[in-house]
Amino acid sequence: MPIRLLPDNLVNQIAAGEVVERPASVVKELVENALDAGATRVAVEIERGGAALIRVRDDGTGMPAEELSLALERHATSKIATLDDLAAVQSLGFRGEALPSIASVSRFRLVSAPSGGEAAEIEVADGRRAAPRPAAHPRGTTVEVRDLFYSVPARRKFLRSESTEYQHIQRTLTRLALSRFDAGFTLTHNRREVFSLPAAADRAAREERVARLLGPEFMRHAVHLEHESGGLRLSGWLGLPTYARAQPDQQYLFVNRRMVRDRLLGNAVRLGYQDVLYGGRHAAYVLYIELDPASVDVNAHPQKLELRFRDGRHLHDFVFRSVERALAATRPDPLRSGSTDLSRLLGADAGRAGPGLPLGQPPAVAGGGDWTVLARVAGAVADDAGRDDGGAAPPLGYALAQIHGIFILAQTGDGIVLVDMHAAHERVLYERLKTALESGAGERQALLVPAVVEVSEEEAGVAEHHADELAAAGLVVDRLGPGRLAIREVPAALATDDVGGLLREALSDLAEHGASHRIVERQNELLASLACRAAVRAHRSMTLPEMNALLREMERTDRSDQCNHGRPTWTRVSLDELDRLFLRGR
């Protein structure tokens, strides 16, 4: 076949292959256009999962009649004019591809009215564009997409069931609605209104929207976070570890108000949770990152879902540390109902962490620890506070008894508290061990015989390049040849571990993210298992002063709301709840 130029309509249909994966992608493009046009209200109507109709209506700036045809031309955009504009682009769109692509694979209608101008409409079907004609429409724009992929049977075949496609649309609109609190959103499916969200001006209204979209339970078990440093800003809500889920289905990340699916950032958040999450569970979060638009390349993915960062490593660390710090602050708080909550135990949704999880195996160490000794080893000051020290009762109150050898029952200012003593003690010890390790940071141990590790040339290069950092984390490594490394010193706490494996993992982290948390992670795993072994075990009887010492330690300890496996460590029942339980005062 000789070389030829493809006809325009075919070019658009090919472009649609990348931009329009399924009905939800059409919704994304159209709603993004509405937001770029400054809409304060966006209404999305769907029929039959989007296969029959997708209609998006906005009250944005609209377009004059003479621009309607241009909007349907490939590479026609009002959003950028030069390469410099692209480099600092703030609008969601910039390629001028969405409308022509969508119009080439559907029966398409665009109606628009600019402020103070006449409304006009234009239709496209079977690759033919009709001339614009006058229409009736208030200021703003409506785009109708009917019979998506009708002209491309091969694509139509790939559409899933109505309910699956509809779910994708709902998920997409949820993301868009989380990305822009300044606009109101409505969604209608088969003429039934699914949600109608007013614009949310303040934090309370935003939290209401988040609760509406993710469920009220998320908001009830979330901490708000806001952190800014060196031109980077992270804000949003972190689901508490005890609200972790079996699926990663509530992880929302936005960069400069753009919804993204970014591995680097997702990994940074995951690391921030690693110390408090039960294995295999997924955190829930809604997080917003803002940074200089010039330091992000948004033109890196056909649906703009992935980004490239100029300083990805710095950003990764910023996100990781901010999340970690926000979660570390989850210690017993007199205002919350505990790290787990009784109402959830009774009617709880089985998809989340809770007491239904298998308990960790009791550590198989003979002899059993002595709590008093352990408390001293761990540096605890058993400030054996009595009730008569004048001050208000501390958040976890004072111990009354040990129950079934497992729980501590304590009385607080306005109710009772139950503590899982092993889980709580384990966390207290773990945090102490980590602090001790950090303060003696960089403590290394020389290997009598250096461990030689075979790696790829690329990995060896990475090791050489990051030698200082590895050394700071405790790994002293030399390059022996193109693909051979010698490990001379290792972190003291890991002296007997599989150092070759650790080095390989650290190198692959370094190669991928430019930073490795693997060493710290491994060290933490080791400390966690030490803590678990050392923690006071079930059925060892404790005296009241010992129990009180543990309660005071918990109040001082970071992350003491969860044990090292992410299980909750305590719960509270207030006097009010006790009264209700016994129908008192009715």
Ligand X SMILES: Nc1ncnc2c1ncn2[C@@H]1O[C@H](COP(=O)(O)OP(=O)(O)OP(=O)(O)O)[C@@H](O)[C@H]1O
Q: Which is nearer to Mg ion, 16 or 417 (CB)?
A: 16
Min separation Cβ 29 and Mg ion, Å: 5
- 75, with CB counted inside 10 A (0-12, 13-18, 19+), is exposed
Residue 98 contacts ligand X per CB under 6 A: yes
Q: Which is nearer to ligand X, 93 or 312 (CB)?
A: 93
Q: Which of 8, 26, 32, 45 minimizes the C-alpha distance to 148?
A: 26
Q: Which is nearer to ligand X, 68 or 399 (CB)?
A: 68
Q: Which is nearer to ligand X, 143 or 197 (CB)?
A: 143
Q: Which residue is nearest to Mg ion (CB)?
A: 93
Min separation Cβ 91 and Mg ion, Å: 8
Q: Which is nearer to ligand X, 93 or 132 (CB)?
A: 93
User: Which span (55-63, 93-101, 464-472, 521-529) binds Mg ion, by CB under 5 A?
Assistant: 93-101
Contact 110, 67 (CB under 8 A): no
Single-letter residue type at 223: V
Min separation Cβ 166 and ligand X, Å: 22
Contact 99, 110 (CB under 8 A): yes
Which one among 49, 96, 184, 566 touches ligand X, defined by CB under 6 A?
96
Spell out where 41-161 has E strands.
41-47, 53-58, 107-113, 120-125, 128-129, 133-134, 140-146
Adjacent-strand bridge partners of 53: 47, 146
Cα–Cα distance measured from residue 350 to residue 359, given in angstroms and rounded to the nearest whole number: 16
Q: Which is nearer to ligand X, 187 or 534 (CB)?
A: 187
Min separation Cβ 9 and ligand X, Å: 15
Residue 257 C-beta-side C-alpha neighbours within 13 Å: 15
Residue 58 contacts ligand X per CB under 6 A: yes
Instruction: Kindly state the DSSP code that residue 14 receives in the 8-state scheme.
Output: H
Whole-number Cα distances in Å, 34 to 37, 47, 302: 5, 20, 19
Adjacent-strand bridge partners of 402: 408
Q: Which does 324 bind (CB under 5 to 8 A by kind): ligand X, Mg ion, none?
A: none
Contact 336, 396 (CB under 8 A): no
Residue 145 contacts ligand X per CB under 6 A: no
Residue 470 C-beta-side C-alpha neighbours within 13 Å: 29
Q: Which is nearer to ligand X, 85 or 147 (CB)?
A: 85
End-to-end, the C-alpha distance of the chain in Å comes to: 88
Q: Which does 97 bind (CB under 5 to 8 A by kind): Mg ion, ligand X, none?
A: ligand X
Residue 161 C-beta-side C-alpha neighbours within 13 Å: 3
Adjacent-strand bridge partners of 238: 223, 285
Angle (CA) 307-313-319 rounded to 5° is 80
Residue 542 C-beta-side C-alpha neighbours within 13 Å: 34
Cα–Cα distance measured from residue 49 to residue 53, given in angstroms and rounded to the nearest whole number: 8
Min separation Cβ 347 and Mg ion, Å: 44
Min separation Cβ 125 and ligand X, Å: 18
Cα–Cα distance measured from residue 83 to residue 77, given in angstroms and rounded to the nearest whole number: 13
Binding mask 12-51 toward Mg ion (x if CB under 5 A, else -) reads ---------------------x------------------
Min separation Cβ 8 and Mg ion, Å: 19
Which one among 20, 24, 51, 63 touches ligand X, defined by CB under 6 A?
63
Which one among 23, 49, 50, 60 touches ligand X, defined by CB under 6 A?
60
Residue 98 contacts Mg ion per CB under 5 A: yes
Q: Which is nearer to ligand X, 108 or 278 (CB)?
A: 108
* Residues whose CB is less than 8 angstroms from the CB of residue 38 and which lie 6 or more positions away in sequence, other chains included: 60, 61
For the record, the structure tokens of 550 come out as 């543990």
Residue 93 contacts Mg ion per CB under 5 A: yes
Residue 144 contacts ligand X per CB under 6 A: no
Instruction: Kindly state the DSSP code that residue 492 receives in the 8-state scheme.
Output: G
Q: Which is nearer to ligand X, 10 or 452 (CB)?
A: 10
Q: Which of residues 23-42 bind ligand X (CB under 6 A)?
A: 29, 33-34, 37
Residue with tokens 């000794």: 373
User: Which span (44-52, 54-62, 285-293, 421-429) binds ligand X, by CB under 6 A?
Assistant: 54-62
Q: Which of residues 66-95 bind ligand X (CB under 6 A)?
A: 71, 77-79, 93-95
Residue with tokens 């300083």: 311
Min separation Cβ 186 and ligand X, Å: 16
Q: Which is nearer to Mg ion, 34 or 531 (CB)?
A: 34
Q: Return residues touching Mg ion (CB under 5 A).
A: 33, 93, 98
Q: Return residues touching ligand X (CB under 6 A).
A: 29, 33-34, 37, 58, 60-63, 71, 77-79, 93-99, 141
